[in-house]
A and B are shown apart, each in its own frame.
Chain A
Amino acid sequence: MPDTSSRILVPVGESSTFRNTVAYAVREARRIAAETGEESTVHFVYPVRWQLVDESERSAADAVADALERARVWANDDLDYDDDGDLDAEDVSVSIETAVVGEDRYLFSPNDFAEVLLEYAHDRGLDRIVLDPEYQPGGSAPMLQPLEFELARSGLLVEEAPVDRVVERGRLPSRANVSKALAMFGVSFGFYLLLAGVFDTFNLVTGAVSAGVVTAVFARISFVNTPSATGTVARIARFLLYVPYLLWEIVKANFSVAYIILHPDLPIDPEMQRYRAAIWGDLSVTTLANSITLTPGTLTVDMDRDSLIIHSLTGSARDGLAGGALERAVRFVFYGRSAARIPTPAERGTIASWTDDDQTDGDE
């Protein structure tokens, strides 16, 4: 019977009911270990959505380590302290493991999260997944149901921990807070005044009212992470350095495309390529994909899990892409100078020509 499985995986995230989920998973592991006499194991796994490459991401890395450490402490508490009274801690062997997954790729859709979790479960021989009912890996985007669906397709036993939901949304860090509201208000107010062009009382008042409405409606959903003032200013400064560079690349490459198009022989050699970019995060991937499209000779066709599908017009455009100058520049904008030193796509071997065979492989 599948529900007697005692090899349990628990995805970890910020959630108000996670304490109870830990208790449930450990209780199940103990119950089954006591019934069957086999060793059971509970793995707490944290799928991260970003790459920990930069010092400014250090606090995020600490938060992940804290969450895993907390899960371990709680689980050990539950093992030592026997609340039923009919299980003897000496007889059962339950091991607790913690892990971080998804550091090396860009997790975006429920599909991506399910994939890294299942990969981990498969490697460790885990066959039961206990989900926290308030688990939200995608920040403010609702993701639990599609994630459950994707996980269940694998044939593993998937369940939501039967815990009482304590709704304390206001206190959780992924919900609306002051810096999100301030950032949203500032941006929309500034944009309004820019369009108005005149800073009289009427525009200031109507602008404040409009920006207030926008903030009330969108502050919760526009940001996944809480924006930090210094990080944002540094990013904008680096972005301003990036824009002239991008413009120059666009102009340069446009001349080569104009040459190709106006050439009597039309010397083109198009090809599709799959390109696994060393870029993590919604905004940075979008920036890279759009920059690639704007730089003539390369066109982003699709975003397939962690890789971009790119259509290139000529061989020299492909070489330029493999050289990774654009990717490095985007990394510099979003992660700072240290991240710009990661090797180029050609050196990493993460760029290859793409055919339909790859697609069928990926669906399995």
Chain B
Amino acid sequence: MTPLEYLVVGLVLAGVFFSFVAVVGIIRLPDLYTRAHATSKSDTLGTVLSLGGIALLFGAEVSAVKTVLLLLFMLITNPTAAHAIARAAHDQGIEPWTASDEEGD
């Protein structure tokens, strides 16, 4: 394997790791708002790292530019979607979970 391939594999593995963290976060975190944290950030970074690895593999090609555009698009749309979900919950009056709720259980 060339050094480039090592780098690509490293990026994709890091991407998989953060996507895994996002999934674990969705399962473990207590309410909608905290889960939105996991999906919006860890998931974004996971996707961005994987796409970055793919763009490196393409090299100096139009496909690489398109992949970078895709990556930018993810960076813009992911937080917007998380914001839309959290805002809908907020408008519905869903109370955020706090540390004191846990002691009550």
Task: Indicate which residue in A194, A261, A271, A293 contacts B98 across the interface (CB closer than 8 Å).
Answer: A271
Q: A311-B96, A313-B37 are in contact. Are A257 and B42 (CB under 8 A)?
A: yes
- Residues B62 and A250 in contact, CB atoms below 8 Å apart: no
A247: min CB distance to chain B, Å: 8
Is A269 in the interface zone, CB < 8 Å from B? yes
Select from chain A the residue with minimum beta-carbon distance to B21.
A258
- Residues from chain B with a CB closer than 8 A to the CB of A297 are 37
- Residues B37 and A299 in contact, CB atoms below 8 Å apart: yes
Select from chain A the residue with minimum beta-carbon distance to B97.
A270
A313: min CB distance to chain B, Å: 5
- Residues from chain A with a CB closer than 8 A to the CB of B40 are 293-294, 299
Select from chain B the residue with minimum beta-carbon distance to A287.
B76
Q: Tell me if A's interface is mostly helix, strand, loop or mixed.
A: mixed
Select from chain B the residue with minimum beta-carbon distance to A194.
B65
Q: C-beta contact mask, A301-320 vs B, less than 8 Å → 1, else 0?
A: 11000000101010000000
Q: A270-B97, A290-B79 are in contact. Are A251 and B45 (CB under 8 A)?
A: yes
- Most B CB contacts (10 A, CB to CB) among A295, A302, A309 go to A302
Task: Indicate which residue in B30, B78, B86 contacts A301 across the interface (CB closer than 8 Å).
Answer: B86
- Residues A311 and B33 in contact, CB atoms below 8 Å apart: yes
- Residues B25 and A270 in contact, CB atoms below 8 Å apart: no
Mark out the residues of chain B between 2 and 43 whose CB falls within 8 Å of any chain A CB in the assembled complex: 17-18, 21, 24-25, 28-31, 33-34, 36-38, 40-42
* Interface residues of A, count at CB 8 A: 33
- Residues from chain A with a CB closer than 8 A to the CB of B79 are 289-290, 293-294, 300
- Residues A257 and B37 in contact, CB atoms below 8 Å apart: yes
- Residues from chain A with a CB closer than 8 A to the CB of B29 are 261, 266, 268
- Residues A258 and B37 in contact, CB atoms below 8 Å apart: no
A354: min CB distance to chain B, Å: 10
- Residues A254 and B45 in contact, CB atoms below 8 Å apart: yes
Is A272 in the interface zone, CB < 8 Å from B? yes
Q: C-beta contact mask, A260-291 vs B, less than 8 Å → 1, else 0?
A: 01100010111110000000000000000110
A-B interface contact total, Cβ < 8 Å: 109
- Residues from chain B with a CB closer than 8 A to the CB of A251 are 45
- Residues from chain B with a CB closer than 8 A to the CB of A268 are 29-30, 34, 99
Q: A268-B34, A294-B44 are in contact. Are A299 and B24 (CB under 8 A)?
A: no
* Interface residues of B, count at CB 8 A: 41
Is A65 in the interface zone, CB < 8 Å from B? no
- Residues from chain B with a CB closer than 8 A to the CB of A302 are 86-87, 90-91
- Residues A293 and B21 in contact, CB atoms below 8 Å apart: no
Mark out the residues of chain B between 31 and 86 whose CB falls within 8 Å of any chain A CB in the assembled complex: 31, 33-34, 36-38, 40-42, 44-45, 62, 65-66, 69, 75-76, 78-80, 82-83, 86
Is A197 in the interface zone, CB < 8 Å from B? yes
- Residues A195 and B66 in contact, CB atoms below 8 Å apart: yes
- Residues A299 and B42 in contact, CB atoms below 8 Å apart: no
A311: min CB distance to chain B, Å: 5
Is A47 in the interface zone, CB < 8 Å from B? no
Task: Indicate which residue in B38, B78, B96 contacts A272 across the interface (CB closer than 8 Å).
Answer: B96
B40: min CB distance to chain A, Å: 6
Is A253 in the interface zone, CB < 8 Å from B? yes
- Residues from chain A with a CB closer than 8 A to the CB of B98 are 269-271
The 9 A-B residue pairs with the shortest CB-CB distance in the complex, in nearest-first order: A197-B62, A293-B79, A296-B41, A261-B25, A290-B79, A301-B86, A258-B21, A311-B33, A254-B45
Residues on B facing A (Cβ under 8 Å): 17-18, 21, 24-25, 28-31, 33-34, 36-38, 40-42, 44-45, 62, 65-66, 69, 75-76, 78-80, 82-83, 86-87, 89-91, 93, 95-99
Interchain residue pairs with CB less than 8 A apart (15) = A194-B65, A194-B66, A194-B69, A257-B21, A258-B21, A261-B25, A268-B30, A290-B76, A290-B80, A294-B40, A294-B78, A296-B37, A299-B37, A300-B79, A311-B34
